[in-house]
Structures are given as C-alpha cells and as structure tokens.
Amino acid sequence: MASFAELRRFSFDTALTANPDTLPTFADPTHITFGGDFPYATPETCAYFTQRLDAYPLDDRRRAAINHGNAEALFPRLAS
C-alpha cells in the first residue's frame, strides 16, 4: 500500500476536475498540470472546467505553474 508521501509524488492534471471540491488536494502543487481532456470531452465541457479553474483562488505563481510551468518542468523539450 502506498504511503501518503508516495502518493504526493504522482502527477495529476485538472481535466474535468477543476472545481472547489477537487482542487484542494493532497497532491504536491508542483505535480499538478492543466488538462482539458480534449478531444474526448466536448469543447463546451472543456470551457466550463477551464472557467472553473480560472475562477479558483490561486496566487499568480501557482496559477502559472499549473497552467504551464509544471508541464514544462516535466517535459523540458516542449518549453518555449
């Protein structure tokens, strides 16, 4: 069975989960990335959850990390 510390090492994305019930999570904040589940979710569904994430109270540093910084750290060759 994985320990709490081990679970915090996993990476998570916000696809279809950006709401006040799921965003305060046990995940290490450096392991959360933006996700939309496109093309499997409709554009309207992706827009809804993106708006929920945009409305969630985050400081600028954490918002930038979730929106692109954490993914760039995970996949440095994709950073622009």
Query: What does the pLDDT look like over 17-43, one tens digit per residue?
Result: 887 777 777 788 898 999 888 889 999
pLDDT score of 16: 86
The per-residue pLDDT for range 37-69, each reduced to its tens digit, is 888 999 999 999 999 999 999 999 999 999 999
What does the pLDDT read at residue 11? 85
Find the mean pLDDT for residues 72-78: 90
Q: Which two tokens stand for residue 75?
A: 């996949």
Contact between 16 and 51 (Cβ < 8 Å): no
Dihedral sign of CA atoms 17, 22, 23, 25 in order: negative
